[in-house]
């Protein structure tokens, strides 16, 4: 895939984890080929940005063992969200499901972005992550299977035992492949989605509790959980990571968090210099922004620099969720945010509580005017 700053190359890693040897091999490849470093995507992948010679980069990645080969490359994305203790059996379910999917004819025909999420709950959970098939552990060996949504908005939803949930998920995919164009489930109407779970009794979706924290910081059992601003790892940040994880590995989460080995915390000051965040209260956690005019011909504003400036001016609004988009496509985030700014002809349109494609409440704002509007809005919210 090409962007204005060069080609993009996405790496999908087994178990959403990059080992020390792989990271050591990746650093020089990024230095030679990816002018804009690496991004951690919302699907727990690594995306090399600004690649001028993708054929050469792909060849080197292949020699380093960083590219999927054979049947594994045909599998849809399956994200497992569970710590190593995995008391609810998320990794066992992953193995069972992959075994069944390996025997599904034509699985390579599924839409490229078809996503299955297996969420064991706990500190690595991502309840808001929307998937075509979402499997949430609910305790006592049971799972909640929902279609086309996150934990709280997927529908329809059924509850299944651990011995049947993998079979049901595989049957859903087989049924989807009967269509001549097996696109993602999330675009289908509710009546069609219900057909995929015919014969099962639907249940209501759970009611969300308070908004979860980002889940950052040091944990004696998990390691050091960090996030880099906008998910971007510069070449220097990558090199520091490769040095400080010793013989360990780094876990990738779909909300762009990284789970580092515990010993990495001792070198935290070095990573802070490269925009690492490990504080849930940091307003930069709430920012979303595409690459902007630096790397996209559709954008007319420097989205990331503007987002950081706005977060400094209106931190409370940033914490609630601020999306600065280069255009109405909303590549960084298509869902609604507390505040969304959409670039247009070098200025911004402001959308409150909506997505980039929604109708704006204010148009043609300069950066200063947008900052004033966000500050005023945050103040009004605080008064209530």
DSSP secondary structure, 107-125, as one string: GGGS-TT-EEEEE--STT-
Please report, for residues 122, 133, 250, 259, 378, the alpha-carbon distance to residue 125 in angstroms, rounded to integers and kept in the order given.
Answer: 6, 16, 17, 13, 29
- pLDDT, one tens digit per residue, over 174-211 is 999 998 787 899 889 988 999 999 999 888 877 665 55
Identify the bridge partners of residue 289 per DSSP, sorted by sequence position: 324
Domain ranges in the chain are: 2-68+229-277, 71-195, 283-383
- Evaluate whether the domain defined by 71-195 bears CATH number 3.30.413: yes
pLDDT for 92-139, tens place per residue?
999 999 999 999 999 999 998 999 999 998 888 899 899 999 999 999
pLDDT at 384: 43
pTM: 0.87
pLDDT tens-place string over residues 43-71: 999 999 999 999 999 999 999 999 998 88
Instruction: Count the alpha carbons within 13 Å of 197 in the hemisphere toward its beta carbon.
Output: 25
How deeply is 54 buried, as exposed, middle or buried, from its count of CB atoms within 10 A (0-12, 13-18, 19+)? middle
Q: Identify the CATH homologous superfamily for domain 2-68+229-277.
A: Sulfite Reductase Hemoprotein;Domain 2 (3.90.480.10)
Q: Do the domains 71-195 and 2-68+229-277 match in fold?
A: no
The tokens describing 308, both together, are 């950081």
Q: Domain 283-383's class? A: alpha beta
């Amino acid at each position: 895939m090409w962007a204005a700053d060069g080609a993009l190359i996405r790496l999908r890693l087994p178990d959403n984890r990059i080992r020390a040897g792989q990271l050591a091999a990746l650093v020089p490849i990024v230095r030679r080929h990816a002018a804009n470093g690496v991004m951690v995507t919302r699907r727990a992948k690594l995306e090399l940005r600004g690649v001028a010679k993708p054929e050469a980069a792909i060849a080197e990645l292949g020699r380093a063992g960083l590219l999927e080969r054979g049947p594994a490359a045909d599998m849809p994305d399956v994200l497992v969200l569970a710590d190593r203790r995995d008391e609810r059996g998320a990794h066992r379910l992953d193995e069972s499901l992959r075994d069944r999917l390996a025997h599904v004819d034509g699985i390579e025909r599924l839409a490229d972005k078809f996503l299955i999420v297996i969420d064991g709950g706990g500190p690595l959970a991502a309840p808001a992550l929307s998937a075509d098939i979402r499997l949430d552990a609910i305790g006592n060996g049971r799972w909640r299977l929902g279609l086309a949504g996150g934990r709280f908005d997927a529908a329809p939803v059924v509850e299944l035992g651990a011995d049947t949930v993998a079979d049901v998920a595989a049957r859903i995919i087989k049924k989807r492949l009967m269509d001549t164009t097996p696109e993602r489930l999330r675009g289908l109407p509710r009546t069609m989605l219900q057909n995929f779970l015919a014969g099962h009794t639907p249940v209501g979706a759970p009611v969300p509790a308070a908004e979860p924290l980002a889940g950052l910081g040091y944990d004696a059992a998990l390691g050091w959980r960090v996030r880099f601003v906008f998910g971007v790892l510069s070449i220097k940040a990558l090199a520091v990571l490769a040095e400080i994880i010793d013989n360990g590995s780094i876990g990738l989460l779909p909300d762009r968090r990284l789970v580092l080995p515990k010993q990495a915390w001792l070198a935290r000051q070095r990573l802070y210099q490269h925009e690492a965040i490990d504080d849930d209260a940091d307003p930069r956690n709430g920012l979303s922004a595409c690459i902007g005019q630096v790397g996209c011909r559709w954008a007319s504003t420097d989205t990331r620099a503007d987002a950081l400036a706005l977060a400094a001016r209106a931190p409370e609004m940033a914490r609630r969720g601020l999306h600065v988009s280069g255009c109405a496509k909303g590549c960084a985030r298509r869902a609604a945010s507390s505040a969304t700014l959409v670039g247009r002809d070098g200025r911004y349109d402001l959308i409150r509580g909506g997505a980039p494609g929604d109708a704006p409440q204010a148009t043609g704002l300069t950066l200063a005017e947008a900052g004033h509007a966000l500050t005023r809005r945050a103040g009004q919210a605080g008064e209530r």
